[in-house]
Amino acid sequence: GNSVTQMEGPVTLSEEAFLTINCTYTATGYPSLFWYVQYPGEGLQLLLKATKADDKGSNKGFEATYRKETTSFHLEKGSVQVSDSAVYFCALIENNAGNMLTFGGGTRLMVKP
Amino acid sequence: DAGVTQSPTHLIKTRGQQVTLRCSPKSGHDTVSWYQQALGQGPQFIFQYYEEEERQRGNFPDRFSGHQFPNYSSELNVNALLLGDSALYLCASSWNERVFTEAFFGQGTRLTVV
């Protein structure tokens, strides 16, 4: 079956530091890949997405590139802010196997001033 | 434009009881999915409804059932509650023609079973 593996948190960074959150996936088909963010006490918000190999998703300074050869979709940001503190989830939908999102376990990011 | 709305926001139930959670999808969306998010974990897919029928189901027992109404809103019912059912229940809506692009999530219902 499909699965998503994320680096375990928490990840603690100082403001303006560079962020990388690793995500790798297993899928039998050709998935679409997503990063969702969950702020404290809230639901999930779509951060960015990529639907085919070599696509780069980007939003709010975050970006991730769909790497089929390494089955990865790592999230990066050049300069984090305190307001980026949240839990980040990598997820996939396999395009030929229904509409179910499969999520990773989440990575908590804490940014200190 | 209202996004996905869920009710109630918090709920406390006793073991063995039954619970109903409600979801109104984002305007223009016709597909509703439900997820269970245990504390400190990623969401797990329960099922999805489209055209008032369950289209896909995750690995959840039959105690979990649902319904979709003609206005696309949806309910999640859980019978014979167990302590392990305590979680954040998330509803997500999407447009059937674009299900592979993105789903919009509500803020969730926090269910506590005591």
pLDDT digits (tens, 9 = 90+) for B37-93: 999 899 999 999 999 999 889 999 999 999 999 999 999 999 999 999 999 999 999
pLDDT at A15: 97
Q: Tell the residue number behind the tokens 């592979």, with chain if given.
A: B100
| Of B42, B56, B108, Cβ closest to residue A105 | B42
Asked if B108 and B90 count as a contact pair (C-beta separation under 8 A), the reply is yes
Tens-place pLDDT, residues A72-110:
999 999 999 999 999 999 999 876 656 788 999 999 999
Give A40's pLDDT tier (boundaries 50, 70, 90).
Answer: confident
| Gap between the Cα atoms of A104 and B85, Å rounded | 20
pLDDT at B100: 57
Residue B101 has pLDDT above 70, yes or no: no
Give A43's pLDDT tier (boundaries 50, 70, 90).
Answer: confident
Size of interface A-B (CB pairs under 8 A): 63
Q: Is B25 on the interface with A (CB under 8 A)?
A: no
pLDDT at B98: 57
Residue A49 has pLDDT above 70, yes or no: yes
A interface toward B at CB cutoff 8 Å?
4, 32, 34, 36, 41-46, 49, 51, 89, 91, 93, 95, 98-106
Q: Is B41 on the interface with A (CB under 8 A)?
A: yes
Residue B97 has pLDDT above 80, yes or no: no
pLDDT at A98: 62
B43·A103 Cβ contact <8 A = yes
For A66, half-sphere exposure in the C-beta direction (CA atoms, 13 angstrom radius) is 20
pLDDT at A1: 80
pLDDT at B57: 92
Q: Name the token pair of B36.
A: 């269970």
- Percent of chain B past pLDDT 90, that is, above it, reads 82
| Gap between the Cα atoms of B110 and B107, Å rounded | 9
| Gap between the Cα atoms of B67 and A17, Å rounded | 46
Residue type, B1: D
Nearest Cα neighbor of B108 from B2, B10, B1 is B10
A95·B100 Cβ contact <8 A = yes
- Percent of chain A past pLDDT 70, that is, above it, reads 96
Asked if B70 and B85 count as a contact pair (C-beta separation under 8 A), the reply is no
